[in-house]
Each structure stands twice: as structure tokens, then as C-alpha cells.
Structure 1
Amino acid sequence: MKLIVQIPCFNEEATLKQTIQEIPRVIKGIDSVEVLVIDDGSSDRTLEVARQAGADHIICHTRNKGLAATFTTGLMESLRLEADIIVNTDGDNQYPGNKIPELIQPIIEGSADITVGDRETRKLQHFSKTKRILQKLGSWGVRKLSGVEVADAVSGFRALSKDAAININIVSKFSYTIEMLIQAGEKKLAIQSVVTGSKKTDRSSRLFKSVPQFLFLSGVTAVRVYTMYRPLRVFSKLGLFFILVGIVPIGRFLFLYLNGDGDGHIQSIIIGSILIVIGCFVVIAGVLADLIGFNRKLLEQILILERKRSLTMDFKEKYHDKKNEENDD
């Protein structure tokens, strides 16, 4: 069984060496451990440090594409390298490498498809009280949207089985953490939280400039992905809201009319009718979006089958090349 630890990097020359060196190379139940560094267009010595630190594989983006794209590049390359389990960690060394064996154990045992490292942010002294509260609320919101029980929804320290990696298709540009969980919940993948803790990092996040920006981008991502997978539920509730609001002024007019005071309140009928029509159109839009969603699911199934076919072809080519080399000897 092969484990590949992928490290998305952007200007991580100061911490990458330690991150790689702390990754255990011998793990019970794993035949080989390899390190894959994905350099997302770094302008510093990240690439050189990765080579010197002993990374087994390195991929470079010609320009910075963002964390979500870099994560996806790592997944696809890890699958091409025949990984059975893929661990994602950060290049800033905030996640403890010695916890990787515990992180992947549920996948080895077959009780989970994806595991997510729980930093236990409520215990981290280097996290402000506000940040701990926001993390707790954010994880609660993601649990409600995804239907999966995960203690630390935005933790980047996570492991995936080969089948889970094949089934995940990240389309967000901001980050992969929330979208992966919503997708995994929709696709009925088994997810477990594993307590791993976290280390203090000296630099600020390069993913966002401020906490409000992070909250806004994370919220937009969560709503967009949830709507993509469950459009009928979202649009139906929104449409029903408009319809119920529209009933209020119409009801007001009818009440006044039955009591002999209907004159001069025709605007209530107009406003209520407009709101009800808007609500009906929103519901119709939800039905159409749901039909489009079925088409998207079919395309996803085709994509997954193509990935499996491609991986099978790569394996056969390598097997035949190895046989030819043995025959030549």
C-alpha cells in the first residue's frame, strides 16, 4: 500500500524543509511513503528547498493558481503515481507530521474514506477567542450543509482513500476544504475526525487577508456548492419565502375590504401579486436547476469513469514496460 503526502506550496522556503523532514517514512500498514510538493508559482526558493529536503516528486505551476487548484493538481498527480492513500498537509508546518499514522489509520482499517485532522482550536492559545468562536460556528454551519460530523471543517490536514480522491471534483477557486465536505456528504463517503492538534505559525495566512474576508469567501463557497448540489431545496425555500411575504399585503387588503375600508389600498394587491409571481418564478428556476443538476451528475460519473480508465491504462502500460525490461534481461 502506497501513501503519498502532498504539500501545496506558495513561497514556503522558510518552513518547507522542516515540514518534509517531519513526515514519517515508515508507517505500520504502509509499504512506501512518498512526498509530493506542488509549487504554486513561488517566487522564492521553495522549489530548491523541496529538492534539498528530499521530496520524491515535484510539480510546478507556471503561475500562482490558488490553493484549490493546487490541491486538485496534487490529487490528480498522486493518483497517477498510484497512491492508495493521499494525505494533504500545509507547507507552513502548522500540522504535526507525526500524527499522519493516526490520521490514516481509519482509512487503512476501512472504516473511513476521508479523515480530517481536528486541531482542537478551542484549546489553542495562539488562536484568539474570536477566532475560536468563529471556527466553531463555521464548522457547525458546514456540518448542517454537508450532513457529516466533522469537528474542524476548514482543517487542511486530511487524508483520502484512492476511491475518495477519484470521486472528488473541486470547482471552487478559493479553497477546497468546505467544498470537499459538502461533496463527500452528497456522495455518501464515510468521513471521520481525528484529533491531531496544531502548531503555531509565525506568518499570517496567504489564503486571505483578514478574518472578515475569509468568512465572506467561505460563506459564498458554502452557499454556492450547496446550491449546486441541492438547487431545488434552496430555490423552493426562497420562492416560498417570497410567496408568503406576498400573501401578507393581499391578506391586509382583503381584511380591510371585508370591513368596508378597501378603497385606497389597491397597492397592497399590486405589491403582493408581484411578490407571489417572483416566488413562483424562483420555484420554477429551482426545478430547472434541479434538472440541470441531474445532467451535471451524469457528467461527473463520466469524469470518474474516465479517471478510472486512465489510471488502469497507466498501470497496464507500466506493467508491460516492466515485463519487457525483464524479458530483455
Structure 2
Amino acid sequence: MKLVVMIPAYNEEQTIGAVIREIPRDACEKVEVVVIDDGSTDNTYGEALKAGADKIVKFKRNRGLAPAFRAGLETALSMGADIIVNTDADGQYDGMEIPKLIKPILDRNADVVLGSRTKGTIEDMPLDKKAGNYIATLITRELSGCYISDAQTGFRAFTRDMALKLNVLSEYTYVQETLMQIASQGAVIVEVPINFRKRVGGRSRLIGNIYGYAKRAGATILRTYRDYQPLKTFLFIGGCFLLAGLITGANVLVYFFNTGIITGKLPTAVLTVLLLIIGFQSVVMGILADMLKSHKKVQDEILYRIKKLEYDE
């Protein structure tokens, strides 16, 4: 059984060495560490090499967390990983808790294990980030139907088979998209409480601005939900337009029955027609998108089989 711990890193020269050295090399029969240097401008690469990283993937420029996570998964699979753990390079997640994180997978009780900060202990987290994590978790939980306590955690473990099924398309963050993909596939998700430590070396490189992060992460959540639940998405949009059209149309009808003319409500009548047309078109788009959903499932299955053949070889 081989465990590969992947660490996306961007300008983390102060902490990357300690994070690598903290990983217990006896957590599995064989443990290897891969660092994805996301175009760091400091000495992250050198510190990772000095600390004993088994492999380092270096981007020529900063591409973002999602591409780094995607590259980490691909590299870990190519290294023959049976279990893949993702952790952060800033040292906030305790590497000594990796055995606890992978235990449900070793016991064959889970496909994915999440290290929950809210079920464990949080040494330090700014109030705005706490609020953002709570809101993002609530939205992700409701849209995915996956009732977890911490959707934002980056301390995660995956089986090899689950990693092969993940297709990270976002260019910003992977946390919400992967959870919604996992939930749509009916995978078993288990949470374990973890210790979340105080960050060393300033603010997060990913979340420099909580509002900017919320905007981009929110767009990722909505886009992923649209792709995996197209009928519900377009029925909701179409329903809103149809309801608005019925309300404005009722106003026109009442005016017509009282006066016998619609001249005074002509703009409202035109608006009603437009709302009803848009609503009807949205419903039709939802039906068509739902038909295409079956093709997406087939494409995902084909991609899974291709990746399985490639990485197993």
C-alpha cells in the first residue's frame, strides 16, 4: 500500500520544510511526498528539496490552487499511489494526523476522508474567514446533498479510484468542485476531527481578499451545480421568469377587465410576454441540458477508463 502526500505551495519557503519533515513516513507501507511549486518567486523549491521531497513539480508561473491540485493528483497517480493525501504548505494542518486521516480508507469504510476543522480545534482563524467558511460550507452542503461540517478544508485523503474519477476544471479553487463531483458519484465521505494551527508567515496566498475569494468560489459552485444538476438549475431560472410573468400578466388582466382596454398597461403587457418567453425557453434549455447530462456521464466514464489504463500502465 503506497501513500503519496501532495503539497501545493506558492512562496512558502518559511514553512514548506517543516511541513515535509512532519509527515510520518511510517503512516503506510510506503510514503512519498510530492510538492507542486506553483511558480514561487522565493526559495520554496530549494527548501522542499532540502527537506526530502521525493518529487517536485515546478510551474514556470503562478497558475493558482486548482491547477496545482490537478497536477498533484496526476503526479501522485503516476507515482503509483493507492491513497493520496492533500495538505497545505503553510503548516496549519498537522502532518502527524495523517494516519488518522487515512484510517477510514485503510479500513475500507470511505472513498474520501475530510479533515474537519469545525469538528476539531481551531487555534486561530480570522472572523471574516470563519464566516466565509461557514457560508460556503452551507451552500456546498445544500447544493450537493452532502451533509458535511467543513467543505473548505484542504486536508483530504482520496482512494486511487476516487482520484481517477476527479476532473478538476476550475482555474481558481478545487475544494467545492471536487466535493460536488464526489457527491454526484455516490462516493462515501467520512469526516475526522483535526487540529487547525495558527498560520506562520502572513495571510493566505490564496485568500488575500475574502470578498474576492467569495466571488470566485461562488462562481465555481454555481458552475459546477449547473453542470451536474442542469434540469434543476434551468427549471429554477425558468420558474422565476414564469412566475414574474404571471404576476405582471395578472396585473394586465385585472386592468383589462376593469377598463376593457390594455393601452394604459401596454409596457407591462410587453414585459409579461418577454418574461413568459424567457421562462419557457429556460425550461426547454433545462430539458435539453438534462438530455446531454447522460452523454457527460458516458464521457466521464470513458475518461476514467483511459486514465486508469494510462496510470496503471
Instruction: Return the TM-score normalized by structure 2.
Output: 0.95
- List structure 1 runs of 4+ shifted beyond 4 angstroms: none
Deviation per residue, 1:23-50 (Å, 9 max, x gap): 11112xx211111111112221111111
Q: What is the match of residue 324 of structure 1?
A: none
Q: Which runs of 5+ in 2 are unaligned?
A: none
Deviation per residue, 1:239-264 (Å, 9 max, x gap): 01101110112111222222335442
Residue type matched to 2:267 in 1? Answer: Q
Q: CA deviation at 1:290?
A: 2.4
CA distance in 2, matches of 1:149, 1:181: 11
Q: What is the match of residue 273 of structure 1?
A: 273
CA distance in 2, matches of 1:123, 1:238: 40
Partner SS state of residue 253, structure 2:
helix
**Greater Rg over alpha carbons, structure:** 1
Partner SS state of residue 24, structure 2:
coil
Preserved CA contact (<8 Å) 1:121 1:127: no
1:55 to 2:61 alignment? no
Q: Which runs of 5+ in 1 are unaligned?
A: 314-329
Partner SS state of residue 197, structure 1:
strand
Q: CA deviation at 1:126?
A: 2.4
Residue 72 (structure 1) aligned to one of 70, 73, 76: 70
Q: CA deviation at 1:69?
A: 0.7
More relative contact order, 1 or 2 (CA 8 Å, 6+ apart):
2
CA distance in 1, matches of 2:127, 2:205: 21
Preserved CA contact (<8 Å) 1:234 1:286: yes
CA distance in 1, matches of 2:279, 2:220: 24
Q: What is the match of residue 211 of structure 1?
A: 210
Deviation per residue, 1:198-221 (Å, 9 max, x gap): 111132111132111111111111
1:82 to 2:51 alignment? no
Question: RMSD in angstroms over aligned alpha carbons?
Answer: 1.6
Preserved CA contact (<8 Å) 1:120 1:197: no
Deviation per residue, 1:112-163 (Å, 9 max, x gap): 1011111128953522334323322221111111111221111111000011
CA distance in 2, matches of 1:140, 1:236: 22
Q: CA deviation at 1:63?
A: 2.1
1:114 to 2:112 alignment? yes
Deviation per residue, 1:159-189 (Å, 9 max, x gap): 0001110011100011110001000011111
Q: What is the match of residue 127 of structure 2?
A: 129
Q: What is the match of residue 311 of structure 2?
A: 311
Q: CA deviation at 1:269?
A: 2.2
Which sits farther off after the overlay, 275-284 or 265-274? Answer: 265-274
Instruction: Return the TM-score normalized by structure 1.
Output: 0.90
1:184 to 2:182 alignment? yes
Preserved CA contact (<8 Å) 1:149 1:192: no
Which sits farther off after the overlay, 127-136 or 80-89? Answer: 127-136
Preserved CA contact (<8 Å) 1:78 1:86: yes
Partner SS state of residue 36, structure 1:
strand
Q: What is the match of residue 255 of structure 1?
A: 254
1:222 to 2:217 alignment? no
Preserved CA contact (<8 Å) 1:103 1:158: yes
Aligned length: 311
Residue type matched to 1:282 in 2? Answer: S
Q: CA deviation at 1:265?
A: 2.2
Q: What is the match of residue 327 of structure 1?
A: none
CA distance in 2, matches of 1:5, 1:139: 24
CA distance in 1, matches of 2:225, 2:116: 23
CA distance in 2, matches of 1:174, 1:299: 24
Preserved CA contact (<8 Å) 1:8 1:74: yes
Relative distance call for 1:128 and 1:206 in structure 2 (3 A) is closer
Q: CA deviation at 1:284?
A: 1.7
CA distance in 1, matches of 2:56, 2:144: 33
Q: CA deviation at 1:98?
A: 0.9
CA distance in 2, matches of 1:290, 1:241: 19
Q: CA deviation at 1:295?
A: 2.5
